[in-house]
Amino acid sequence: MRSTPTPVSGSSARIEAWSGRQFAERVEDAMDIYARAMQYPQHAAAQRSVTARKHVSHEGFACRAAVLEQGALIGFGYGYTTLPGQWWHDLVRRALTPESAEDWLADAFELSELHVLPGFQGGGVGRRLLLELAGAIPHAAMLLSTPDADTRAFRLYHDLGFLDLRRHYLFPGDSRPFAVLGARLPLGTGG
């Protein structure tokens, strides 16, 4: 496990646009944040790193990183154009009604991951990452899945205009139910 930066105000983090190469260079740091934020065992970070490295070559890949002044990564978000043949896309297509799948999966960006170190959560870092990422992509919609529970992340997504497309969905390999959410772009500012 990597050392954890001392929590400070999330507003002190700068949001950077990262290329696929830049993300791949810091993927272990990012997936450490993923495992801690999702409360997965640490070995899940190494497993997810392999998949995340492959994602950088997907069409429409885009990434934003929250970095402290000294360079410590405290949060990140990335995704790509969702297309048939991709694991998440194909599962979600089957989970939605045919009409909903047709409507939402065309010209959509799949937010694959958005995570903030637990000590920095609640300070606006996740919101800033999401808004900057969503503001930079040319898609008509953004889709994601998140644990189906009353979490900060779930509340943030709804606050920014995401709608429930499917609730209580079980993805292979995770026993927790997930919600599949979608929002038309540009994202709203919430209330």
Query: Could you read off the pLDDT of 148-159 as tens digits, one per residue?
Result: 999 999 999 999
Q: What is the pLDDT of residue 127?
A: 97
Model confidence over 19-46: pLDDT tens digits? Answer: 999 999 999 999 999 999 999 999 999 9
Q: What is the pLDDT of residue 1?
A: 46
122 and 11 Cβ atoms separated by less than 8 Å: no
Between strands 62-67 and 163-169, the pairing is unpaired
Predicted local confidence at residue 174, as pLDDT: 87
The pLDDT score that the predictor gives to residue 130 is: 98
CA 143 to chain centre: 9
Buried b (16+ CB within 10 A) or exposed e, 133-167: bbeebebebbbbbbebeeeebbebbeebbbeebbe
Residues 55 and 29: their CA atoms lie apart, in Å, by: 16
Q: Evaluate if residue 11 carries a pLDDT over 90.
A: no
In the chain, what is the greatest distance between 2 CA atoms, to the nearest angstrom? 48
pLDDT of residue 190: 42
Q: Where are the alpha helices (DSSP H) in the chain?
A: 20-25, 27-38, 43-55, 87-95, 98-105, 125-134, 152-159
Distance CA(64)–CA(14), nearest Å, equals 10
User: What share of the chain has pLDDT > 70, as a percent?
Assistant: 93
Least confident range of 1-5, 80-84, 138-142: 1-5
- In sequence order, which residues have a C-beta less than 8 Å from that of residue 168 and are 6 or more positions away? 148, 177, 179
Q: pLDDT (tens digit, 9 = 90+) per residue, 37-92?
A: 999 999 999 999 999 999 999 999 999 999 999 999 999 999 999 999 999 999 99
Q: What is the mean pLDDT of residues 102-111?
A: 97
Pick the CATH number of 10-184 from 3.40.630.30, 3.30.1320.10, 3.90.25.10, 3.40.225.10: 3.40.630.30
Average per-residue pLDDT for the chain: 93
pTM: 0.92
In terms of Cβ atoms closer than 10 Å to its own Cβ (0-12, 13-18, 19+), residue 123 is buried
Strand order through the sheet with 178-184: 14-18, 62-67, 73-81, 108-116, 141-147, 178-184, 163-169
Determine if residue 159 is left, alpha or beta; phi over 0 gives left, psi from -120 to 50 gives alpha, anything else beta.
alpha
Compute the average pLDDT of residues 106-123: 97
Measure the CA angle with vertex 107, ends 26 and 177; round to 5°.
Answer: 65
Among this protein's residues, is 157 annotated catalytic? yes
Find the catalytic residue in 34, 40, 157, 169: 157
